[in-house]
Amino acid sequence: MVERHAGGRLAYPAPAGRHRRHRQPRRRERPHQGPALRIHAGAGLNGRFHTLNVFARELLRWYDHHGRKDLPWQHPRSAYRVWLSEIMLQQTQVVTVMGYFQRFVDRLPTLRDLAEADEDTVLALWSGLGYYRRARFLHQAARLCMERHDGDLPRDLDALMNLPGIGRSTAGAILAQAHGLRFPILDGNVKRVLTRYHGIAGFPGESAIEKKLWLHADEHTPAKRTADYTQAIMDLGATVCVRSKPACLLCPQAATCVAHRDGLTAVLPTVKPGKKVPTRSVAMLLVRDKRGRVLLERRGPQGVWSGLWSLPEAVDADTAPAVAATLARVRQADPLPAFTHVFSHYKLDVSPILFDHAAPLAAVADRADRRWCNRDELASLGLPAPVRTLLDNLPEISP
């Protein structure tokens, strides 16, 4: 069960690898982490004492056994290659990206090469990956780096985010993966891991929730091995903490995960709220005669339930008696329990009203789109499901 999109980063399981003996990705000299580290050190103990929080420690231990350390953009690792991979991975699975990535860097090995290439070349290299707008952003950003940053990607969060196609998460990934700087990321995988781990309900796309998640993401991000940690949490989300049926038995965080403890993995993260569908209301008229027959109307060719047999309607309960009076001689109006029917594009609040002991009007019954129906006849008619339910549950004729 592989996540879609970025979630599919780890499209296949980590190599079972005993003798894969990857050297730990040899990160280059960790750059001098002046300001960036200091800014973030306040969030936790990480910066100050060089200790790993429990979350990071367990995750890194897991990563050492199960994480991927041989992705093409990890060797050699450069800001340009990490950036390119992050952009490609935003929309495509790892397996697919690998081929494109290699072809891309073979043809355009440096940021300068990218900047100097024409757009057609870039798009040709991107061809097949989809989301071509991102290729254009990539290209534009490379040119901006030539202008603004001496031909390098900046090492500054804001400067990165000011480049097209780079948001906060991608900027964090670049700083963390390429430079080992302590910046958090928060992509779909990480959101899923953190909402479960902390038991955070609410749609993660909502700003208040997202804010919380960024705080957690930051608090877990260690100052040591930040690059590995970043890769690890994405891998965990992609291979273990997957959307449906997560492999909690294999999860290094299971012992402290709130969702696992409380059995909430199926409901976290909270699904995107359906866009608020408009609500309409209608009164449905159950006009019933002494013999228990109910007056039905065939609905018109337009709109919902077109062509089905249904009940006469009024805009609301107040106008229902007047409408009923045009259909039959009615004596009493008894409201029945209202209910809501949900369509794909709107909700319908239905107020059924029973007009018992109605006497048919000759002129009304005599039409092709109206008929008095007894119970047996209902079975053979096409009725909207809620209307059928309503008719099936009708009370007996009142005395």
Partner DNA sequence: AATACGGGGGT
Partner DNA sequence: ACCCCAGTATT
Binding site for DNA (CB under 7 A): 1-8, 90-93, 130-133, 137, 161, 163-171, 186-189, 191, 204-208, 244, 271-272, 274-275, 344
- 203 Cβ contact list (under 8 Å, min separation 6): 209, 269, 270, 271, 272, 273
Give, for 314, the enclosing helix (H) or strand (E): strand 313-314
Nearest approach, Cβ of residue 225 and DNA (Å)? 21
Is 86 among the residues known to form the active site? yes
Q: Cβ closer to DNA: 53 or 91?
A: 91
Q: How far is the CB of 94 from DNA (least distance, A)?
A: 10
Q: Which is nearer to DNA, 187 or 228 (CB)?
A: 187
131/339 with CB nearer DNA: 131
**186 vs 254 by CB, closer to DNA:** 186
Largest interatomic CA distance in the chain:
95
Q: What is the DSSP string of 170-193?
A: HHHHHHHHHH--------HHHHHH
Nearest CA to 287 among 256, 332, 317, 337?
332
Catalytic residue among 29, 86, 119, 147: 86
Q: How far is the CB of 285 from DNA (least distance, A)?
A: 30
Tell me whether residue 168 or residue 224 sits nearer to DNA (CB atom).
168
Task: Supply the minimum distance, in Å, between the C-beta of residue 76 and DNA.
Answer: 23
Q: Which two tokens stand for residue 310?
A: 């249904």
Please give the structure tokens belonging to residue 131: 């989301």
Residue 62 Cβ vs DNA, minimum distance, rounded to whole Å: 20
Rg (CA), the chain: 31
> At a CB cut-off of 8 Å and minimum separation 6, what does 330 contact?
287, 321, 324, 355, 357, 358
Question: Residue 262: helix, strand or coil by DSSP?
Answer: helix
Give the C-alpha separation, 68 to 368, whole Å.
71
The CB-of-216 to DNA minimum distance in angstroms stands at: 15
Give which of 131, 194, 195, 191 is closest to 165, Cα–Cα. Answer: 131
When the beta carbons of 203 and 339 are compared against DNA, the nearer one is 203
Distances (CA, A) of 230 to 126, 174, 190, 200, 288: 25, 10, 9, 21, 68
- Catalytically active residues are 86
